[in-house]
Structure 1
């Protein structure tokens, strides 16, 4: 251990180790999907941080670990962002610097029962604040939230219906803190075990109490995945061919992926007529996705458009949250050169202004989202609260084939389904497409990146309101209260200590001796 401490004495060497430790949680996400690993993945990072000689060094370890975490979780963006991936990770990694300082503050040295109890509340709360800040769309959005690694665990999905992905992140970090204490601080193992028992008890109580979605019926929804097809005309023809093969089936809705139509349908009545003919043949409305300049306003939009037997129904949703660099370049006048070193957007897409509900055929109310938007819990929560019966996400991950991106993206729909108590249909151009029931459980199997087909799913239509939809992001608000309470207590403690310290004794008064006045002769 002494030799290891000396080896870590080099600041740069220690930073590299911190970055590698921070990258470990990536194995809990798809594609590996070692969900169980999430509960110990932060332990090496925290063990390193608690050994920091100073609070400043602990903050740097937190920063370095955050850098490693972000690069690992977003590594598939490297061909598109190139050097920008490391720059963004370095900037956002600084969000973990205060968290690193908190880890040393609570777990450094030999913490007693009081400090361990505080760590089990404050450290998960601090982690949640990091996730909250980086979830802002302008900073890249909530991709890779730690709680989303639990997308295939039924018990975790039940808890997501109570407090969303935020509650799962809080619980995962709590377990990591307790395991860190068990490994490193023998004298504090009892409070750490008590913390684990309390976490299990609270989680079990929430699991039992959480209401289950009530299935009121089923909808037959088809997903059309054409695969990798170059050119807007060829893609449209392939999607048309796959859709026409669905004609013998009784369907309620047919969903095409993101950018499935490369022309504004208002300016291409010929394409609209072909889509309307498909709707008549299959007996179902089509939800397509247009990626093109609009004829009624300037700019390029990505839009979910509903087409029925008579043509355009008038239901349209314009994507609101765009992918930085992928769909627009922040401060293009300064960073526009990014298009010359990566696959950054050559032209900025325009943003929509509001979410919408659509009335598909057979009385089915759907809430559309487009691609990146499935990472945002608040968007699906609003749609469910507004009355959506099924959530539909249109996506395209064709730029990231043979990477972890398609599976990471498809897994997010499971969390959104569990949070809202509404089935989610995740339809992509090139895979992975997936459908999840109202409890977040996978229906059937994924359409992988090698699939080129149309598949029909029996999708449950659920009613009722989950606690998460009703109460919102209450774990985040609770974490804010915990941190505010701790900061207030620390401030009061510092004030008491200042009052107790006796003032230094005043120096003895100096006697000024008068010198005799000499009179002139």
Structure 2
């Protein structure tokens, strides 16, 4: 309804201060609401749900919203899409510390999605736009994985595809190629539907546009099918029997850190229970045992009682144990994996290299302290970073180590394999995050890594879910949450390298260059259009 006023001459005039017409208001609100809901749809495609295929229509809808719009609209709609996706995905980050850090993290991470939205809107008028748009999404993920504070790759599209048909592409080019394929398929789906509607309305479509749309939709699926031979769980270097220990914790949450001796005792007790089962002939004796991160937050090099507990557990089971410890050495605090032999004691160590900001170290400590001195008490002393890849040689078996948070970073897993790892272990501590989806999201990462590098991956976790994953990404055993348990299994060892392992960062660089090329083309076309309009 339009509001009018009567002038002195009796004519009706539109009041410029009147409310905007309802249709115009809805025209602005509906795309914004749709962007947020499509982000939620993308979140629903992630673990613990197995609805991986929902990522395709989520990106199809995102493409529909952005195509033909200006970059400013793309920026806003992209931000809302990012909020809809990341707010529920990362809610676990506020489980124990309240909503402040969770909301701050999402606000920052969604800004990257906003920039991608602006870029997608800009390239959406180009021929073959799904290619440029999907590459821009990959470029956005590449940026998120590096800045700020060394990056936060959580929410990479690849990590939602552990149960999907696209998974074999991880072996081709890692998480960048896997994620790119999913996004390209989504944008291709929208373009096929759009051209179908155009064909029905006009009776004709341009053949090149139709070919590009079909290629964008079908090429990722064809590529995944062609990559299937790269996925194998066959042993190349024999097999090894491993035991994964989940000792559990007395209580979940941040209070976990005050229970250090109890947590160590729990893991030793579960190992001794396993030793009794081995002695009784109920399970096979493993070649080695894997404990989780933080299974001994008491430094066994400085505390004799902790050393005695670990040594007794190793002697009871009769094989080496990889222990997750917190160690002080040369004034440095280290998150360390320690290979503990039942006869010789500690033999090898690995210091975590990708440490977690605001969890294991506090960026901008002086600034944060000036705002609220209590906030700095959350991380009283910063952990130091390790410098060398973690590969333990355990009786001739090379075991690569990527500790917890490191599993999210491509480089931190890959260089254990290029350094000779025949299998990978991802020791983790998820007790801080209670029964949230975090542990399932992280488990999915390990499944993708298994296929990416064609390696068995073990996931020993303090409180669940611990698992054994075959090189084809299949989980063969797993525990429940907040229970004490052990998993024993013979697993294949492999030494061949997938294309993803060999190529490393190169596929990601190629996709970023494609994104830059498309964006440059769009900007140049816009400049030429404005100049032509000025003539």
What is the TM-score normalised by the length of structure 2? 0.83
The gaps in structure 2 that reach 5 residues or longer are: 1-20, 199-204, 252-258, 279-283
Q: Which moved more, 1:159-168 or 1:270-279?
A: 270-279
Q: C-alpha deviations, 1:235-272, integer Å up to 9, x for none?
A: 22222121112222421111111111121111123432
Q: Deviations over 1:363-399 (max 9, x none)?
A: 2111112110111121111100110112111111112
**CA distance in 1 between partners of 2:486 and 2:48 (Å):** 24
| Matched-pair contact (CA < 8 Å) for 1:305–1:315 | yes
1:458 counterpart residue number? 490
Partner of 2:71: 55
Q: C-alpha offsets along residues 268-295 of structure 1, whole Å, 9 cap, x if unaligned?
A: 2343244233323322100111125x1x
Q: Which moved more, 1:405-414 or 1:97-106?
A: 97-106
Gap change, CA 1:401 and 1:88, over 3 Å in 2: closer
Aligned to 1:46: 63
Query: CA offsets, 1:137-169, max 9 Å, x none?
Result: 62642111011111123x433221111111111
Other-structure match for 2:381: 347
Higher mean alpha-carbon deviation, 350-359 vs 196-205, is at 196-205
Change (3 A) 1:469 1:257: same
Q: Is 2:240 aligned against 1:207?
A: no
**Alignment correspondent of 1:447:** 479
Equivalent in the alignment of 2:347: 314
The structure whose Rg is larger is 1
Matched residue, 2:292: 257
Residue 491 (structure 2) pairs with residue 481 (structure 1): no
Secondary structure of the structure 1 residue equivalent to 2:113 = helix
Give the distance between the partners of 2:183 and 2:428, measured in 1 at CA: 31
2:437 equivalent to 1:404: yes
Give the match for residue 24 of structure 2: 6
Q: Establish whether residue 277 from structure 1 lines up as the match of residue 293 from structure 2.
A: no
- Partner SS for 1:29: coil
Displacement of 1:464: 0.8
Kindly state the Cα deviation for residue 105 of structure 1 after the two structures are TM-superposed: 3.4
Contact 2:336 2:352 (8 Å CA) reproduced: yes
Residue 449 of structure 1 and its aligned partner are, at CA, apart by 0.5
Structure 1 length-normalised TM: 0.85
CA contact 2:456–2:468 (8 Å) conserved in 1: yes
Closer, same or farther: CA 208–391 of 1 in aligned 2, 3 Å: closer
1: CA distance, partners of 2:186 / 2:372: 38
Q: Secondary structure at the match of 1:257?
A: coil
Please list, as runs of the form range in 1=range in 2, the aligned pairs for 1:105-504 lying within 5 A after superposition. 105-107=122-124, 115=126, 117-136=127-146, 138=149, 140-153=151-164, 155-185=165-195, 186-187=197-198, 190-191=210-211, 192-208=213-229, 214-229=235-250, 231-247=259-275, 248=278, 249-292=284-327, 294=328, 296-336=329-369, 340=374, 344-360=378-394, 362-444=395-477, 446-490=478-522
Taking the aligned partners of 1:4 and 1:402, their CA distance within structure 2 comes to 45
Q: Which residue matches 1:513?
A: none
| Counterpart contact for 1:140–1:323, Cα < 8 Å | no
2:81 paired residue among 58, 65, 70: 65
Pair 1:74-2:90 in alignment: yes
CA contact under 8 A between 1:425 and 1:434: conserved in structure 2? yes
| Partner Cα separation in structure 1 for residue 530 and residue 59 of structure 2 | 36
The alpha carbon displacement at 1:483 in A equals: 2.5
Deviation string, structure 1 residues 456-512 (Cα, Å, up to 9, x no partner): 12221112111111111333122123123334545665687789x5996xxxxxxxx
Contact 1:82 1:341 in 2 (8 A): no
Q: How far 1:299 moved relative to its partner?
A: 3.7
Give the secondary-structure state (helix, strand or coil) at the position aligned to 1:93: helix
Deviations 1:179-236 (A, max 9, x none): 2223445226834234323333333333356787653221111111112225222222
Distance 1:196 1:30 in 2: 24
Cα distance, 1:94 vs. partner? 2.0
Q: Deviations over 1:112-158 (max 9, x none)?
A: xxx4x5212101100001100101262642111011111123x4332
> What are the superposed Cα offsets for residues 323-367 of structure 1, whole Å, 9 maximum, x if unpaired?
22122221011124678579943432222222232112x321111
Once the 2 structures are TM-superposed, how far is the Cα of residue 81 of structure 1 from its aligned partner?
5.5
Q: 1:307, CA displacement in angstroms? A: 0.4
Say whether the 8 Å CA contact 1:339–1:345 is kept in structure 2: no
